Amino acid sequence: MNLILIRALAAFAAISIGSAAFAGENLDRIMKDGVLKVATDANWAPQSFMNDSNELDGFDVNVAQELSKRMGVKVEFVTPDWSIITAGHWSGRWDVSVGSMSPTKDRAKVLTFPAIYYYTPASFAVHKDSKALDKTDLNGKKVGATTNSTFEQYLQGDLVTDAEGAPPFTYDVKPESILSLKDSSAVMDDLRLGDGVRLDGMLGSLPAISEAIKNGYPIRVVGTPAFYEPLAIAIDKGDDDLTAKIASIIKEMQADGTLSALSVKWYGVDYTTVSK
Amino acid sequence: MHIDTVVGDRLVHKPKFLAALFAAAFALFFAINVSDTSLGISLASLIGNMVAGDAYGRGIIALILAAIFVADIAIIGFLPLRAQLIVVWLQLAVLFLAFFLVFHLSFPFILSKLRFMIVQGVVTTLYVSAIAISISFMLAIAGAIAKLSNNGFAIAIANFYTSLFRGLPLLMQVYLIYLGLPQLGYVVDAIPAGVAALSLCYGAYMTEIFRAGIESIPKGQWEASRALGFKFGLTMRRIILPQAIPVIVPPTGNQFIAMLKDSSLVSVIGVWEVMFLARTMGTKTFQHMEMLITAAMIYWILSMGLEAVQSRIEAYYRRRGAR
**Contacts A–B by Cβ distance under 8 A:** 66
- Give me the CATH number covering residue B229: 1.10.3720.10
Dihedral angle at the C-alpha atoms of B250, B256, B262, B264, nearest 10 degrees? -140
Within-domain flag for B6:
no
Query: Which range is most confident: B11-15, B88-92, B316-320?
Result: B88-92
The answer as to whether A5 is a domain residue is: no
Task: Evaluate if pTM is beyond 0.90.
Answer: no
Contact B288 A185 (CB under 8 A): yes
Q: Compute the Cα dihedral for B103, B106, B109, B114 and give only its sign.
A: positive
Same-domain status, A131 and A109: no
Lowest mean pLDDT among A99-108, B2-11, B125-134, B223-232: B2-11
Residues A196 and A68 in one domain: no
The residue in chain A having the minimum alpha-carbon distance to the alpha carbon of residue B191 is A80
* Residues B40 and B181 placed together within one structural domain of the fold: no
Cβ within 8 Å, pair A46-B120: no
Rounded Cα gap, residues B297 and B300, in angstroms = 5
Half-sphere exposure of B290 (CA within 13 A, CB side): 20
CA-to-CA distance for A41 and A48, rounded, in angstroms? 7
Interface contact B177, partner A, CB < 8 A = no
Evaluate whether residue B97 is within a structural domain. Answer: yes
Each residue's pLDDT tens digit in chain A (276 positions)? 455 555 555 554 444 444 444 557 888 889 999 999 999 988 887 889 888 888 899 999 999 999 999 999 999 999 998 888 988 888 889 999 999 888 888 888 899 999 999 988 999 999 999 999 999 999 999 999 998 888 998 999 888 766 666 778 889 888 999 999 988 888 999 999 999 899 999 999 998 898 899 888 999 999 989 988 889 999 998 888 999 999 999 999 999 999 999 999 998 888 888 754
> Is there a contact between A111 and A84 (Cβ–Cβ < 8 Å)?
no
Cα of A15 to nearest chain B Cα, Å: 10
Query: Is B4 inside a domain boundary?
Result: no
Examine residue A132 and state whether it is found in any structural domain, yes or no: yes
CA nearest B186 in A: which residue? A91
Q: Give the distance from residue A267's alpha carbon to the nearest chain B alpha carbon, in angstroms.
A: 13
Residue A105, CB half-sphere, CA atoms under 13 Å: how many?
Answer: 6
Same domain, yes or no: A166 and A80:
no
Count up the domains in chain A and report the number: 2
Instruction: Inspect the interface and report whether the beta carbons of B285 and A215 lie closer than 8 Å.
Output: yes
For chain A, helix (H) and strand (E) counts, in that order, are 10, 10
- Domain endpoint, select from B85, B101, B117: B101
The answer to whether B202 faces chain A, any CB pair under 8 Å, is no
Q: Note whether B93 and B144 are same-domain residues.
A: no
Distance CA A114, CA A239 (A): 10
Q: Do A84 and B269 touch (CB under 8 A)?
A: yes
Is there a domain that residue A187 lies in? yes
Q: What total of structural domains would you count in chain B?
A: 2
Same domain, A135 and A160: yes
Angle at B78 between CA B73 and CA B80, to 5 degrees: 115
Record: contact A80-B179, CB cut-off 8 A: no
pLDDT tens for residues B30-65?
Answer: 888 776 666 766 776 666 655 555 777 778 888 888
Q: Do residues B103 and B287 lie in contact, with contact meaning Cβ atoms separated by under 8 Å?
A: no
Q: In this structure, are residues A96 and A246 in contact, taking their beta carbons and an 8 Å threshold?
A: yes
Is B216 an interface residue toward A (CB < 8 Å)?
A: no
Nearest to A19 among B183, B269, B284 (CB): B183
State chain B's maximal CA–CA distance in angstroms: 88
Residue numbers of the domain that contains B73:
11-101
State whether A111 and A240 are in the same domain.
Answer: yes
Q: Say if residue B207 is in the same domain as residue B265.
A: yes
B279 to chain A: closest CA residue: A43
When CB atoms are compared, the residue of B187, B270, B284 closest to A45 is: B284
Bridge-based pairing of strands A111-127 and A201-205 is: antiparallel
Buried b (16+ CB within 10 A) or exposed e, B111-131: eebbeebeebbbebbbebbeb
Q: Is residue B3 part of a domain?
A: no
Q: Which residues of chain A neighbour B183 with C-beta distances below 8 Å?
A: 19, 89
Q: Could you tell me if B21 and B164 lie in one domain?
A: no
Residue range B173-187: average pLDDT? 88
The length of chain B is 323
Of A84, A185, A189, the CB nearest to B179: A84
The Cα of B45 is separated from the nearest Cα of chain A by a number of Å equal to 32
Residue A8 lies in a domain: no
Q: Do B270 and A51 touch (CB under 8 A)?
A: no
Give yes or no: residues A216 and A235 share one domain: no
Same domain, B167 and B40: no
Whether residue B87 sits in one domain with residue B219: no
Q: In A67-91, which positions are buried (b, 16+ CB within 10 angstroms) versus exposed (e)?
A: bbebbebebebbbbbbebbbbbebb
Looking at the structure, tell me whether residues A104 and A138 fall in a common domain. Answer: no
Q: Quick check: A84 and B268 CB within 8 A? A: yes
On whether both A140 and A180 belong to a single domain, the answer is: yes
* Domain identity same for B112 and B132: yes
To the nearest whole Å, the CA of B114 is away from the closest chain A CA by 11
Mean pLDDT of chain B: 88
Cβ-defined contact of A79 to B182 (cutoff 8 Å): no
Q: Do B20 and B133 lie in a common domain? A: no
Q: Measured between alpha carbons, how far is A167 from A160 in angstroms, rounded to an integer?
A: 12
Contacts of B281 in chain A (CB under 8 A): 50, 54
Is B270 close to A50, i.e. CB distance below 8 A? no
Segment B206-255, tens digit of pLDDT: 999 999 999 999 999 999 999 999 998 899 899 998 899 999 999 999 99
Give long-range contacts, CB 8 A cutoff, 24+ apart: B181-185. Answer: B182/A19, B182/A89, B182/A91, B182/A93, B183/A19, B183/A89, B185/A19
Query: Do A101 and A135 share a domain, yes or no?
Result: no
Cα–Cα distance, A109 to A237 (Å, whole number): 8
Phi, psi at residue A115, to the nearest 5°? Answer: -155, 140
Q: Same structural domain for residues A113 and A124?
A: no
Range of the domain at A91: 19-118+230-267
Nearest CB neighbour to B284, from listed A50, A80, A92 = A50
Based on the domain organization, do A51 and A187 belong to the same domain? Answer: no
Instruction: Give the chain A residue nearest B278 (alpha carbons).
Output: A43
Q: Name the residue type at position A116.
A: I
Q: Residue A197's domain is classified under what CATH number?
A: 3.40.190.10
* Partner A contacted by B103 (CB < 8 A): no
CA A58, chain centre distance (Å): 14
On whether both A110 and A236 belong to a single domain, the answer is yes
ipTM given for this complex: 0.72
* Of B53, B84, B101, the domain-final residue: B101
The verdict on B221 and B282 lying in the same domain is yes
Whether A276 is covered by a domain: the verdict is no
Give, for A113, the enclosing helix (H) or strand (E).
strand A111-127
The answer to whether residue A65 is domain-embedded is: yes
d(CA A41, CA A85): 9
Q: Which pLDDT belongs to residue A168?
A: 81
Best mutation site among B111, B271, B283 for testing chain A: the one with the most A CBs within 10 Å? B283
Q: Measured between alpha carbons, how far is residue B315 from residues A185, B255, B309 in Å? A: 47, 19, 10
Interval A93-102: pLDDT, tens = 999 999 988 8
Select from B54, B83, B101 the last residue of a domain.
B101
Does the residue A12 lie in any domain?
A: no
- Asked if A49 lies within 8 A of B283 by C-beta distance, the reply is yes
Q: Which residues does residue A57 pair with via DSSP β-bridges, in sequence order?
A: A49
Closest CA to B287 of B125, B104, B98, B99: B104
- In this complex, is the C-beta atom of B84 within 8 Å of any C-beta atom belonging to chain A? no
Indicate whether B50 and B142 sit together in one domain.
Answer: no
Angle at A179 between CA A175 and CA A184, to 5 degrees: 110
pLDDT value at residue B168: 94
Q: Is B292 on the interface with A (CB under 8 A)?
A: no
The verdict on residue A199 lying in a domain is yes
Instruction: Between B224 and B106, name the one with better pLDDT.
Output: B224
Contact residues, chain A, for B185 at CB < 8 Å: 19
Instruction: Find residue A48's DSSP bridge partners.
Output: A44
**B31 domain residue, yes or no:** yes
Q: Are A231 and A120 a contacting pair, CB within 8 Å? A: yes
**Which one of B178, B275, B284 makes the best mutation probe of the A interface by having the most chain A beta carbons within 10 Å?**
B284
- Which chain B positions have a beta carbon within 8 Å of A212's beta carbon? 286
